[in-house]
Amino acid sequence: MSEDASALPHETPLAARHEALGARMIDFAGWRMPVQYSSILEEHRAVRERAGLFDLSHMGELWVEGQEAASALDGALVSAPSRLAVGRAHYSMIVAPDGGIIDDLIVYRLADDRFMVVANAGNADVVSDALAERLAGTRAVLDDHSLATGLVAVQGPRSIDVLRPLTDVDLDGLRYYAIADGHVAGIPAQVARTGYTGEDGFEVFVDTARTGDLWDALLPAVQAVDGRPVGLGARDTLRLEAGMPLYGNELDRETTPFDAGLGRVVKLDKPGDFVGRAALEKVAADGPRRRLVGLVVEGRGIARHGYPVHAADRRTGVVTSGTQSPSLGQPIAMASIGVADGEPGTILDVEIRDARVPARVVPLPFYRRNS
Amino acid sequence: MSVPTDLRYTRDHEWVRLEGELASVGITQYAADQLGDIVFVELPDAGRELEATKPFGVVESVKAVSDLYAPVTGAVAAVNDALATSPELVNSDPYGEGWMIQVRLAADADLGELLDAEAYDDLVAAG
């Protein structure tokens, strides 16, 4: 993949289908992606109440294979992929030696000696390079499958009903954060029970060349339960309500996992060194410099990414993501603030244009599905 | 796209309905469609003096924040308070229930920069 800003963005294998559906397309992380098909609010509600279909073919799929794949990944990432059972997945991060987050990842164990690391589209090249460097000298190799892989997600309470008639994978036996080999609509696929919406749902990995066939089979099945295709706009409001971080907003190179409230992802108890261990041990011992909190804006206005946050008359931090919550009907935000200022119930002020607007600190997530 | 022929328009996609010394102001259907679902509208209080081409408020969709620019110079005479609780009216009825403010034109208000419907249509068609 090219980092050249002047290069044309990548096309997912579904670009023509998005356009035929009337999607508004934007350039996102080097890809031309649908931001919305009809209405972000309608797409959001479809996922919360029924089902939504997402094209995630822009995500990076990095395969790590070899006799030492597990131990090599333990040394490259903050989590302990060696502890994953085959067919299971976990949330992870790759950090720089200073502990700053390079990307957040999902790691799937496909076999004893084979893992799939899914990276954000905008970071896929950087992660691929860093992993290749960190695997050097081990008996594990990196194979970047990003452009060879299509990824389509079905998310929402009805997603299991949508997918069940189309697949030979035992979906009812597939646990959250598990992955299985099989077929969907006759297409060889890996089906994972993962997602980024706060709802039950599935992510289906197929060969790029079969992505169109997969979409064509799934779209009518989603529409049959009154679901709809969903673009990046609603993907963002869904993940924000679910309290899930977005790289570039909540996570970046200046932020350690502990600063983002995600210290649990870092397995300091795993044996051996890993990139970032010394720096992260220090943060774990000294305590983080910042904390990530949820805010509900109580005055008028929507807190947006980059807006300053004040505690009394002192600036304490910044809004990392904010929107009008479609599910709550209130403006919600995540903010990175001073560790002492973030107890739930605290009233902070968000600087929205010229005004200081009160906002209450609340526990994350903002939205939790009924299970 | 066809736009109401009895209105005047700005290059920033506001519309103006001129009625004597009063001018009602909103944003066009094209602007509302481009913004997507509108979830928040911030408008000036009655009495505020506005200057043509200067920002007078903000409209926010789920994704984006956009400034509103005064099409004319004058004082805010009325504000559509319904938008505080029902900002979606801007999407559903941008030329009617989704109006934003009414301005009492200043004596020296210059209306010459406003576009007629045909010119605005051309502007939108040109992208």
Q: What is the DSSP string of A45-65?
A: HHHHHS-EEEE-TTSEEEEEE
In this prediction, residue A6 carries a pLDDT of 57
Cβ distance of B40 and A237 shorter than 8 Å: no
* B3 assigned to some structural domain: no
A120 touches chain B (CB under 8 A): no
* B122 assigned to some structural domain: no
Q: Given CA atoms B98, B101, B105, B110 in this order, what sign does their dihedral have?
A: negative
A301 touches chain B (CB under 8 A): yes
* Domain boundaries A1-287, CATH class: alpha beta
**Separation of alpha carbons A283 and A279, rounded Å:** 6
In Å, how far from its chain's centre is CA B73?
A: 13
Task: Give the best residue of B39, B45, B88 to mutate against chain A (max A CB count within 10 A).
Answer: B39
Low-confidence stretches of chain B (pLDDT < 70) are 1
**Separation of alpha carbons A145 and A364, rounded Å:** 34
* Residue in A36, A301, A331 closest to B36 by CB: A36
Cβ distance of B65 and A304 shorter than 8 Å: yes
* B98 assigned to some structural domain: yes
* B72 assigned to some structural domain: yes
Q: How many residues does chain A have?
A: 371
Q: The domain containing residue B12 runs over which residues?
A: 8-110
In this prediction, residue A4 carries a pLDDT of 52
Alpha helices (runs of H) in B1-127, residue ranges in sequence order:
29-35, 82-85, 89-92, 117-125
A196 neighbors A239 (Cβ within 8 angstroms) = yes
A309 neighbors A351 (Cβ within 8 angstroms) = yes
Helix (H) or strand (E) holding A162: helix A159-163
**Domain containing residue B55: CATH number:** 2.40.50.100
* Residue in A237, A301, A353 closest to B62 by CB: A237
Q: What are the residue ranges spanned by the domains of chain A?
A: 1-287, 289-371
* B125 assigned to some structural domain: no
pLDDT tens for each residue of B71-102? 999 999 999 999 999 999 999 999 999 999 99
Cβ distance of A302 and B40 shorter than 8 Å: yes
**Neighbour count for residue A171 (Cβ, 10 Å):** 18
Number of domains in chain B: 1
Closest-CA residue to A257 (of A285, A226, A292): A292
A5 by Cβ neighbours in 10 Å (0-12 / 13-18 / 19+) ranks as exposed
In this prediction, residue A2 carries a pLDDT of 44
* B124 assigned to some structural domain: no
Show Cβ contacts of residue A214 under 8 Å, excluding neighbours closer than 6 positions: A150, A152, A184, A185, A187, A189, A204, A206
A202 neighbors A193 (Cβ within 8 angstroms) = yes
3-class secondary structure for A268-298? CCCCCCCCCHHHHHHHHHHCCCEEEEEEEEC
pTM of the model: 0.94
In this prediction, residue A371 carries a pLDDT of 67
Residue A200: CA atoms inside 13 Å, Cβ hemisphere, count?
A: 15
Cβ distance of B62 and A41 shorter than 8 Å: yes
| Shortest alpha-carbon distance between residue B37 and chain A (Å) | 6
A237 touches chain B (CB under 8 A): yes
* Assigned token pair, B34: 């481009």
Place of tokens 């779209």: A219
B30-68 as b/e, with b when 16 or more CB fall inside 10 Å? bbbeebbbbbbbbbbeeebebebeeebbbbbbbbebbeb
Domain A289-371 CATH assignment equals 3.40.50.10490:
no
* B57 assigned to some structural domain: yes
A302 touches chain B (CB under 8 A): yes
Residues in chain A closer than 8 A to B63 (CB atoms): 35, 40, 233, 236, 323
In this prediction, residue A5 carries a pLDDT of 53
What is the pLDDT tens value at each position of chain A, 371 positions in all? 444 555 789 999 999 999 999 999 999 999 999 999 999 999 999 999 999 999 999 999 999 999 999 999 999 999 999 999 999 999 999 999 999 999 999 999 999 999 999 999 999 999 999 999 999 999 999 999 999 999 999 999 999 999 999 999 999 999 999 999 999 999 999 999 999 999 999 999 999 999 999 999 999 999 999 999 999 999 999 999 999 999 999 999 999 999 999 999 999 999 999 999 999 999 999 999 999 999 999 999 999 999 999 998 899 999 999 999 999 999 999 999 999 999 999 999 999 998 999 999 999 999 999 86
